C-alpha cells in the first residue's frame, strides 16, 4: 500500500518531464549541447611526457599498429603489416590479430596460459599445408605445443605497448593544439617530420598516432573485456 503513492509521484514527474521536453516553438524546440571546455594549454613535451606516464600505468588496452609506406612494402611475407592486440598488459589474457602482405591473416587467443591460433587458408598454405588441409584447419582454432603463449611474445600486449612508448620517446613534438574528439577535449601534438599524436585531455592516454611509416590506433584503455577460450568443439589439437 505504501508503494502506490510513490508510483504515482514517479508517473507525475515523468509527465512533467515529457511536457517540458516538448518545447513550445513550432520548430520542435531542439537544444544544442554545451560546448566542450578546451584542454589546458601545455607545452608539447609536457603533454607527451604525461601521456607516456599514463600508458605505463595502464593495465589493459587495445593497440593496433599498421606499417605504412616503405615499411609495409619491405616487411616481407612473414612480418605482419598490421598487428592488433587487445588484453592485459601483463600478457596473461589477450587476443591478437595479425594481417600479412598477400592476404594472410592469423588470430591468436591467450587464455589460462594456453594459446589458440586460427589462420585463414592463405596463411596455412603459406606455411606449407596443402590446400585441402589448410581449408579444413582454417575452420577451427588450433592448440598444441607450437601455440604456447611464448611463441607470440613478440606481439603480446606488453611488447606492443613498449614499442609505442619507445616510438613516443624517440619523437620530438614541437607543437601542441587543443582539439575536440568525440565531444571530448584532446591534445594534438605534431613533430617537425609530420608525426601526429592525439591524446585524451582527461586521461592523457593516446587514441591515435601517425608517422611516415607507422600508424597506431588506440581505441580502448582500462579496462578491456576478458577473453575466453573457444569451445572444445571448435578446437583441434596436435
At 61-71, the pLDDT tens digits run: 999 999 986 54
pLDDT attached to residue 27:
41
130-152: pLDDT as tens digits: 999 999 999 999 999 999 999 99
Q: Could you tell me the pLDDT band of residue 46, with boundaries at 50, 70 and 90?
A: very high
Percent of the chain at pLDDT > 90 equals: 76
CB atoms under 10 Å from CB of 138, counted, come to 18
Separation CA 214–CA 65 (nearest Å): 7
Q: Quick one: how far is CA 35 from the chain centroid?
A: 27
Report helix, strand or coil for 193: coil
CATH number 3.30.365.10 is the correct assignment for the domain at 44-226: no
User: Could you state, in order of their start, the residue ranges of all structural domains in the chain?
Assistant: 44-226
Q: What is the mean pLDDT of residues 26-55?
A: 80
Percent of the chain at pLDDT > 70 equals: 82
Q: What is the mean pLDDT of residues 197-226?
A: 95
Judge whether residue 78 has pLDDT over 50. yes
181 vs 38 pLDDT, higher one? 181
CB atoms under 10 Å from CB of 165, counted, come to 15
Q: Could you tell me the pLDDT band of residue 90, with boundaries at 50, 70 and 90?
A: very high
Separation CA 48–CA 54 (nearest Å): 10
Question: Phi and psi of 2, rounded to 5°?
Answer: -75, -20
State the Rg of the chain over Cα. Answer: 24
Amino acid at each position: 500500500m505504501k508503494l502506490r503513492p510513490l508510483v504515482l509521484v514517479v508517473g507525475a514527474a515523468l509527465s512533467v518531464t515529457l511536457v517540458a521536453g516538448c518545447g513550445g516553438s513550432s520548430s520542435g524546440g531542439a537544444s544544442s549541447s554545451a560546448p566542450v571546455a578546451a584542454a589546458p594549454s601545455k607545452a608539447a613535451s609536457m603533454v607527451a611526457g604525461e601521456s607516456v606516464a599514463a600508458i605505463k600505468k595502464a593495465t589493459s588496452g587495445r593497440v593496433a599498429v599498421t606499417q605504412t609506406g616503405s615499411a609495409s612494402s619491405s616487411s616481407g611475407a612473414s612480418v605482419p603489416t598490421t598487428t592488433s592486440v587487445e588484453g592485459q598488459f601483463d600478457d596473461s589474457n589477450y587476443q591478437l590479430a595479425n594481417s600479412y602482405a598477400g592476404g594472410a591473416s592469423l588470430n591468436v587467443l591467450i587464455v589460462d596460459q594456453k594459446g589458440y591460433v586460427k589462420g585463414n587458408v592463405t596463411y596455412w598454405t603459406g606455411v606449407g599445408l596443402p590446400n585441402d588441409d589448410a581449408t579444413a584447419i582454417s575452420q577451427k582454432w588450433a592448440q598444441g605445443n607450437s601455440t604456447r603463449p611464448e611463441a607470440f611474445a613478440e606481439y603480446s600486449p606488453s611488447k606492443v605497448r613498449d614499442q609505442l612508448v619507445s616510438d613516443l620517446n624517440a619523437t620530438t613534438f614541437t607543437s601542441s593544439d587543443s582539439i575536440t574528439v568525440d565531444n571530448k577535449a584532446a591534445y594534438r601534438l605534431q613533430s617537425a617530420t609530420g608525426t601526429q599524436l592525439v591524446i585524451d585531455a582527461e586521461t592523457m592516454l593516446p587514441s591515435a598516432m601517425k608517422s611516415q611509416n607507422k600508424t597506431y590506433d588506440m581505441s580502448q584503455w582500462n579496462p578491456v573485456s576478458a577473453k575466453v577460450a573457444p569451445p572444445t568443439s571448435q578446437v583441434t589439437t596436435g
